[in-house]
A and B are shown apart, each in its own frame.
Chain A
Amino acid sequence: MTSRPLRYAQAMLAATSMLVPAASAGELCPSHTHTLAFFNGVWNTPDAAASGARELLSTLSETLRMRPEAARYAVGAEVFYNASGLQRGLRDGIEDLVEVFEQRAAELEESLQHRWELFWEIVDGQLAWWRKIAAVLPRAHALAESLSEARNARVIARTAALAARPPTDIDYAAHALRLRALQALGRSILLVGHSQGNFFLNAAYRSAPSPDSTAAVHIAPAASRTNGPHLLSGNDLVIAALRSALPGEPPPANIAIPPSRKDPTGHVLIDTYLDPDRNGRAAAGGLMAERLLALHAPAPLASPGFFTATLAWDGEGDLDLHVMEPGGVHVYYAARIGESGSLDLDNTAGFGPEHYHASCDPNRLQAGIYSVGINNYAAPAGRRATVQLATASSGVVRTVLLDAGPPRGEDGDATPLAVLQVAVEKTADGWTAAVH
């Protein structure tokens, strides 16, 4: 086993050689300067969360366009997704609403029993198709009311459960790792939460490496604790309902967004808070822009890559990231510079991160299969490892959580635990990366 001083010397030697930027050309790596990280509310499906993030980015961009100091900003957006309420087996989850829908529809109106598209309207709290049906089948009105009540009771119960036991960064290791990777790349990060998403935002904020380069904005916060300014409409009926059901003192309302038939609850992110026809959108854009403009970019510790692999783990000790490049070069702590990329972060103390980037220089980047693995060099058995793969064009494409196994020291260097493979191809249209 390599002694710690020797290993430190190896690391310093490699670090010295990396003072020359490993990625000389940004040609293959369009890069952002800032990231908007969106934390969705409960019972949000992935598609709904993606549309929320997309619209937040549009709202922020509208405001930044009026600020000359932001002219060189390139802001990307990512969904830090939680499926809270949608998992199977939760007592206050969506699963039993599936059964409730089936039973009550069968009891009240058989013709609705098989129309599961109406189930999603209950989930979303948007009843456009129910309204049309109720006009020709009045009984549908009572059914929609009963199902909406069942839905709201479960949403409130799920929120109360989150308030009683907030999520942790260990529960959401992929979120925490992504924040650390972004910071290592020198990006400033704006965390934006909507509704119960603020519980998840708070967990991520606690794990953020630097408060100078990370800020939070809370929209319609369901959580009583905040880490930055908030926006809450006095006409938000969902938060008003939660206020009486949750412990703690939630933030006060600080804007009155006029009621609208677009969203009778006054709570939906896009239909109310980001509605271009009312005052919430400008306020949200202003709040996000102010926080973003106040951020200081962290000093970059790692390089962007055509693709990057990042490793973190859940405690002290030493796990190692290994990448076998297409040309046969094995990149790891003892050989950090490969033919195609480099290990630019090595951590021997604990938690990580370790980071490998494949070059952005098309003259250096190799086509072929990259094998990404890990070795438990000197950490207690049972460490939970998170490996995250991101590409320059698509952002995070895969996160894998796995048991790092028992410590194997140098014996494990030659046979790291295989995690995933990346196939890089050069085609007539350019370079592509696919994960397997």
Chain B
Amino acid sequence: MMGRLPGALLSAALLLAACGGENPPAPEASTIEDLERTGQLPALDRSEDLLGPDLDGNGVRDDIDAWIAREEENPARRAALAQLARAFRAALLTGGDPAAAQDAARRQTRAVACVMARSRSPAEGSHAVSDMRKMSANTKQRVQAYLAYSAALDGAVMSLPAGDGCDD
């Protein structure tokens, strides 16, 4: 039987960081919208469409495109983040089909390796990957699509690319 205490202790540990705030918001921010307007949080598309708008047709949702452009100056790392965004987009479309999920996973694994290779530290790389998941699967429908993709891969083997995995 699981006790309540362990979970509560862990939550307290996680929240310790929340109290201090490593990145306190700028003084002008007093609402969440302020945080988004000033670029401290991404301003994200929340439309019902699984993929969201991609007006320039580059395979990256427009709001994520804007986030990449604002967050990253290095062209090579920008390209890596765009590759990762496209891979997440493909993962959302798999509909829980195991074959489609494995194809998308191969693409995603390459993109993850590319972002990690072009990041300045392991933590920066892994946080960029999780940030991309947060932004890509940011509505209930998108969360459920990503969970279906993940569940379809249960028991799969995913190989890392021999090189850096970058498409360019």
Contact = CB atoms under 8 A, between A and B. Distances in A.
A175 B159 CA distance: 12
A45 to B, nearest CB: 5
B15 interface: yes
A126 interface: yes
Interface stretch (B52-60, B70-78, B132-140): B132-140
B41 A174 contact: no
A58 B151 contact: no
A94 interface: yes
Contacts of B146: 45
A394 B161 contact: yes
A27 interface: no
Nearest to B25: A135
Interface in B1-17: 2-17
A226 to B, nearest CB: 21
B123 A245 contact: no
Interface stretch (A77-85, A214-222, A359-367, A369-377): A77-85
Contact of A54 (B7, B34, B112): B112
Nearest to A118: B134
Interface residues of B, number: 82
B38 to A, nearest CB: 11
Contact of A394 (B106, B129, B143): B106
Interface in A129-158: 129-137, 141, 144-145, 148-149, 151-153, 155-157
Given A120-B134, A160-B2, A397-B102, A132 B158 contact: no
B15 A30 contact: no
A316 to B, nearest CB: 23
A238 B116 contact: no
A312 B139 CA distance: 40
A83 B129 contact: no
Interface string A259-278: 00110110000110011100
Contacts of A114: 46, 139
Contact of B14 (A133, A245, A265): A265
B15 A148 contact: yes
Contacts of B154: 81-84, 86-87
B102 A399 contact: yes
Contacts of B122: 55, 58, 270, 274-276
A83 B146 CA distance: 12
Given A47-B129, A77-B160, A132 B10 contact: no
Interface in B72-121: 88, 91, 99, 102-103, 105-106, 108-109, 112-113, 116, 121
A46 B126 contact: no
A306 interface: no
Contacts of A240: 6
B9 A237 contact: yes
Nearest to A238: B10
Contacts of A127: 14-15, 17-18
Q: Which of B14, B105, B113 has the most CB of A within 10 A?
A: B14
Which of B16, B127, B154 has the most chain A CB atoms inside 10 A of its CB?
Answer: B154
B139 to A, nearest CB: 5
Interface residues of A, number: 100
A237 B140 contact: no
A51 B109 CA distance: 8
Given A79-B158, A132-B40, A145-B15, A50 B23 contact: no
Contact of B23 (A132, A148, A388, A398): A132
A95 interface: yes
Contacts of B4: 153
Given A46-B153, A397-B106, A261 B10 contact: no
A48 interface: yes
Contacts of B159: 76-79, 390, 394-396
Contact of B133 (A45, A136, A156, A173): A45
Contact of A95 (B88, B138, B147): B147
Contacts of B123: 262, 270-271, 275
Given A133-B41, A171-B155, A116 B138 contact: yes
Given A47-B108, A50-B113, A129-B134, A144 B18 contact: yes
B126 A51 contact: yes
A244 interface: yes
A148 B113 contact: no
Interface in A64-114: 76-84, 86-88, 94-95, 98, 102, 111-112, 114
A86 B4 CA distance: 22
A207 to B, nearest CB: 13
Given A78-B157, A86-B151, A397-B102, A237 B13 contact: yes
Given A32-B162, A45-B133, 10 more contacts: A55-B126, A78-B157, A81-B155, A81-B157, A98-B140, A117-B134, A133-B32, A141-B15, A155-B7, A270-B126
16 contacts: A46-B153, A47-B108, A50-B112, A77-B159, A86-B150, A87-B154, A98-B140, A120-B130, A120-B143, A132-B23, A135-B29, A153-B2, A241-B5, A261-B20, A271-B126, A399-B156
Give me the 5 closest cross-chain CB pairs, A-B, nearest first.
A395-B159, A241-B6, A152-B7, A83-B154, A117-B134
